Structure 1
């Protein structure tokens, strides 16, 4: 049986190559410590993770590259992807990244952290001939991220419930998946404990207040996606019924496709990402819905994907530098949800 990703593999791979090779515009998010610390030349500051506008997008588009190498990419484009990964995921380069994140413990916290560990896990499980080299190179960075995470979680009095990068539940879902794959049981235990502390008693989420104008995540669906990972199935089903009692109903606003009015504005096009993350998370959660609600959730996932399809590969750079990853996860969720 062919993968649902196969029809998209080549155009998405070409989009990744183009985005990684585009070094500017560049958002460094670098906090200078003194007048001599102001050089933010992308490849100097981040020899592994430059291009794609910003650090976290470069990380997760390389994650997507690794995944697509196992999904039927044509030989020419597969070689292009592997060439970029070989050039960037070298021990000397990733050590620079690891030291940067170690020295600046709030940098890319938690969103970039999560995608860095997802890249490490993807390299570790990939059957591509280059993957063992990439996995070895990524290991120090993932360990720094996990260690930073263990120090940070006890200091976080409340979870962040926004629809953008600092959303706590979204990143913890990815970090938990990575920690399980990479054998960090201490990290798994910490995430489960904090998730239950923050979210275990939640109920009646006000879905009518979503989305905000620059969301690319649904705070409601991100939280439910995390709790699916940390609770046993029976307990999660009951929790979901309390938290999102109308999930999948015909009038559920979480099924709607977001409206984007400016396709060139970096904040506005976050809403394209929201369409894709809704599709991703609805598919993860559909198995806990009754049959009519599950059908509506799947139909909404398809509609949201279709609405964004052209933007992923043919939109403005504000879209093409990152949307592949979210579309990829939405399709993978159809297989695994």
Structure 2
């Protein structure tokens, strides 16, 4: 119990895998809670959740928003949903409004890793627990949030690099990589980059020759890739994109430049959306690392557990895989996003 409550002296961020989301345990919990909701009232009051979404930057985000909205209905939680449109100022304003409204719980996916200290202190003083979803924060006082739910972004970067090293094993010549980063300062951009570089650093023939933010959008991915092609041309052998939408934009830019994505230039991305699977099937994408957006049921589970006085893991990590042209067809039928 001391470990979970952070009383052991071990930083919360070391305890990364306290619990994992799997389809089986979420389905079981949904059924259990539905049975509970059908019984006479056991909770003291109806729960009001204030949720602030990052924006609408990608198909992944749309699936994430839909999951949260549906899960709130399924768990009979009153959801107040706000969209920050990629603005930290909008998020902070929405959180402050939720504090004034005295919601029971606040949850949000931070635009970037810093800048929220003061508003979270306000929530703490008001006695309102805060839950992070998808993305994380990076400042000293991690008592300002109850838990975080989402992916291990650094491991996603490692998985991308691990596949590249295996796929190009035996190649002696230099391999030049261009990187399409997500929103600058966001936790997925920071840690997907860090994990990727971590595995490549001891392999001297792999070079990231350009790295630039394309803000997780298809349009910016296409624009930035076009600029990189104009500058580096045939020197580019690999594109590493921090999400599928940017990769899909890059694919369009590569085709317009007269090159074959997936063949002349290897394309690696993160998210594993249906659009990425279609690109795998057509041979234009080589790999997508899964990042599960369906966090709604686990978020509602944590809220109900907290209201019932149960211990809450400090970090809940989603169960995810990787998909290449070799195994994509087996998984596509199961895709919910």
TM-score norm. by structure 2 comes to 0.28
Flag the structure with more relative contact order, 1 or 2, with Cα contacts below 8 A and sequence separation at least 6: 2
Structure with more of its chain in strand, by fraction: 2
